[in-house]
Structure 1
Amino acid sequence: MTQPTVAAVAIGRNEGERLIRCLTSLRAQVDRVVYVDSGSTDGSVQAARDLGVAVVELDTSVPFTAARARNAGFDALRQDPPEFVQFVDGDCGVEDGWIAAALDAFAGRDDLVIVTGWRSELHPEASVYNRLVDYEWHRPAGEIAACGGDMMVRSADFIAVGGFDPTVIAAEDDEFCTRIRKSGKRLLRIPVAMTRHDAAMLRFSQWWQRAVRSGHGFAQVGDLHPDYFRPERRRVMLYGGVLPVLALIGALWFWSLLLAVIALYTVSYGRTVQGLRRGELPRKEALHQALFLSLSKFPNLSGMIRYHLRKARGRAMHIIEYK
């Protein structure tokens, strides 16, 4: 039986050594590798070429988005399209054996369009922010509604749905997966290590910007698919918007209202801790992470507001970078 053809599309901007690790991890596992660069100034383009990788440099006059970069990478393969494409972010190294495992999952499954696996952080011990991200990647295996940007995709279905939406600047992978599901196809996460990610988040400001970007994604993808991210948007509006306003009113005029708001935040924090503990986090770690998860509603709200302001003013959706 002939082995299916697989190409990889890696995207990045100023990833440095992380990019070299990414491209090196791919070369022995796939037939072709394309690197798409979004205006790097750190020598990433030359480093990729030195590794023998095909490079696509995006036009810097058009706003960068991860979706636009992934589409450009796929376009570079269209003259001789592979059966499958592995998309990966340039700050991720692909684990040995992942490509073969993903292809095995596709075997005999014509209804299956996307296969993803387990992503983990390269240095979770470096900061609480890295540990937060590492926990974020822990998701159960099985059929899924959406996944992150590290995914293997059947090329024919990628073309059929029109690829990624280049105007979506955050959660573009969720938006793409939603259209795949609406086309009647399936997505699967298999219990296999897929990539090692390097978030490199060492400062509070980086974590805040990443949470702002998430909020922007909640709003923009929710605008395109109202049923998606609905619980997330409601939580952000309640804990990041409504309750702070009620707390201010209570502080000025009704102390009982202020106490009620504090009680609601306390209950929410306690439930978050319990959820993290069920995820097998140690108590101290769960208490710490729950604090940031509770706080994240404020930058999330900022991101949601930013999206709606941009839309109302007809402005381009520029990426929100955190590193």
Structure 2
Amino acid sequence: MSEQVFDDHIISQLGAVVIGRNEGERLKQCLTSLRKGIKHIVYVDSGSTDGSVELALSLDVEVVSLDLSQPFTAARARNAGLTKLVANYPALDYVQFVDGDCEVQPGWLVNAMDFLQNHPDFAAVCGRRRERYPDASIYNLLCDIEWDTPVGEAKACGGDALFRLTALQAVDGYRESLIAGEEPEMCLRMRQLGWKIMRLNVEMTLHDAAMTRIGQWWKRNQRAGHAFAEAYAIHGQSTENFRRSECKSILFWALLLPMFFIGLSLWQPELSVLFLVYPLQIARLILRYQHRFQSLKQSILYSVSNVFGKWPQLMGMVEFKVNSLRGIRSHLIEYK
């Protein structure tokens, strides 16, 4: 199936929720691409000042503007959009979530709907998200590499995915308090109820990360570390030990090992050679990933980012822990 052609019955079952803030032309591309296959669309705006609300209304898309007095989270926005969508169109059975900086690819909706209709035990299906401009910067390329997850049954999906409404309602949607990592956390709760997640080998969306500076890369990894720590605090004692391995890896490589090496170096300066374990780890990862990626450049880039990204991830973990001890909510960690 390649063309997005639905009969009236399918159209009545399918809706979409788009979230965004100040996405400009990217939002127009997103909504226009959805309009080719979906009639019922809700756009949730998180305080845009660039005319995004007016743009959505001009495209005959319903708009929900979030209350500015409450902290913004993607999870809160998606839940608000879902509530509006279901209230207005009670016949819906499937909901496509899309981030406002993404363009839905031709053929995706047909393939995704076909899969869910023929596999009633699956809660969600996602496909290949690609960066629109992977050659614009190494940071964009890193995003494109990250999106290329294994095909088949998966543990989680990302922000773009088609969900079965009954599965969303069974877990009460996204956990609104999470400032990041809300999709894997919700997918975990779905899987705990017996639902499954699938990633198809189908083009799904074009994403525009617009990452051109190392500071953006740093913030993005910091946000990931916060997400790992918060998810572990919630589900770390589950049978799956959710996010335990990620948290242990960050603490080992970014805190415990450096402190140990520094201590030994202060005692015997020549032992500073032990820090060579980091380039050796990079070399090990390059060999590990060389068959997964399309080029040696991608393998090197991903491996270097994997190792050095542990330090901003540690900062995110520390931020979560400090705020948790103080009893306050963390603010969004935004990279663009």
When the two structures are superposed, what TM-score results if normalisation uses the length of structure 1? 0.96
Equivalent residue in structure 1 for 2:265, among 228, 251, 256: 251
Equivalent residue in structure 1 for 2:253, among 239, 263, 287: 239
Helix, strand or coil at the partner of 2:194: coil
Most deviating of 242-251 and 182-191: 242-251
Write the distance in 2 (CA, Å) between the matches of 1:284 and 1:177. 32
What is the correspondence of 1:75-114 to structure 2 with a 5 Å cutoff? 75-79=83-87, 80-81=89-90, 82-114=92-124
Helix, strand or coil at the partner of 2:219: helix
Letter in 2 for 1:83: D
Write the distance in 1 (CA, Å) between the matches of 2:188 and 2:231. 9
* Count of residues in Structure 1 that have an aligned counterpart in Structure 2: 322
Most deviating of 97-106 and 72-81: 72-81
Displacement, 1:13?
Answer: 1.0
Helix, strand or coil at the partner of 1:23: helix
Displacement, 1:53?
Answer: 0.6
Task: Spell out, residue by residue over 1:160-189, the C-alpha distance to the aligned partner (whole angstroms, 9 max, x if none).
Answer: 111000001110001010000001111111
Helix, strand or coil at the partner of 1:3: helix
Write the distance in 2 (CA, Å) between the matches of 1:47 and 1:16. 9
5+ residue gaps, structure 2? 1-6
Equivalent residue in structure 2 for 1:169, among 176, 179, 184: 179
CA contact (8 A) 1:167 1:317 kept: no
Most deviating of 29-38 and 287-296: 287-296
What is the correspondence of 1:1-323 to structure 2 with a 5 Å cutoff? 2-3=9-10, 5-79=13-87, 80-81=89-90, 82-226=92-236, 227-255=241-269, 257-260=271-274, 262-323=275-336
CA contact (8 A) 2:180 2:227 kept: yes
Write the distance in 2 (CA, Å) between the matches of 1:116 and 1:152. 6
CA contact (8 A) 1:246 1:258 kept: no
Let me know the Cα RMSD of the aligned residues. Answer: 1.4
Letter in 2 for 1:123: Y
Task: Spell out, residue by residue over 1:76-104, the C-alpha distance to the aligned partner (whole angstroms, 9 max, x if none).
Answer: 02222310000011010000111111011
Letter in 2 for 1:174: P
Letter in 1 for 2:66: L
Write the distance in 2 (CA, Å) between the matches of 1:94 and 1:312. 41
Displacement, 1:220?
Answer: 0.6
Write the distance in 2 (CA, Å) between the matches of 1:258 and 1:280. 33
Displacement, 1:107?
Answer: 2.0
Write the distance in 2 (CA, Å) between the matches of 1:132 and 1:63. 29
Letter in 2 for 1:7: G
5+ residue gaps, structure 1? none
CA contact (8 A) 2:15 2:41 kept: yes
Helix, strand or coil at the partner of 2:43: strand
Write the distance in 1 (CA, Å) between the matches of 2:150 and 2:160. 16
Task: Spell out, residue by residue over 1:206-252, the C-alpha distance to the aligned partner (whole angstroms, 9 max, x if none).
Answer: 11000000000000111111111222111111111112212221231
Partner residue, 2:4: none
CA contact (8 A) 1:219 1:304 kept: yes
Write the distance in 1 (CA, Å) between the matches of 2:314 and 2:217. 14
Write the distance in 2 (CA, Å) between the matches of 1:47 and 1:107. 33
Letter in 2 for 1:31: K
Write the distance in 2 (CA, Å) between the matches of 1:246 and 1:41. 49
Helix, strand or coil at the partner of 1:165: coil
CA contact (8 A) 1:249 1:258 kept: no
Displacement, 1:30?
Answer: 1.1
Letter in 2 for 1:128: I
The runs of at least 4 aligned residues of structure 1 exceeding 6 Å deviation read none
Displacement, 1:256?
Answer: 5.5
Write the distance in 2 (CA, Å) between the matches of 1:83 and 1:289. 38
Task: Spell out, residue by residue over 1:88-130, the C-alpha distance to the aligned partner (whole angstroms, 9 max, x if none).
Answer: 1101000011111101101232211101111110000000000
Most deviating of 62-71 and 26-35: 26-35
Helix, strand or coil at the partner of 2:299: helix
CA contact (8 A) 2:94 2:165 kept: yes
Most deviating of 231-240 and 162-171: 231-240
Displacement, 1:257?
Answer: 4.3
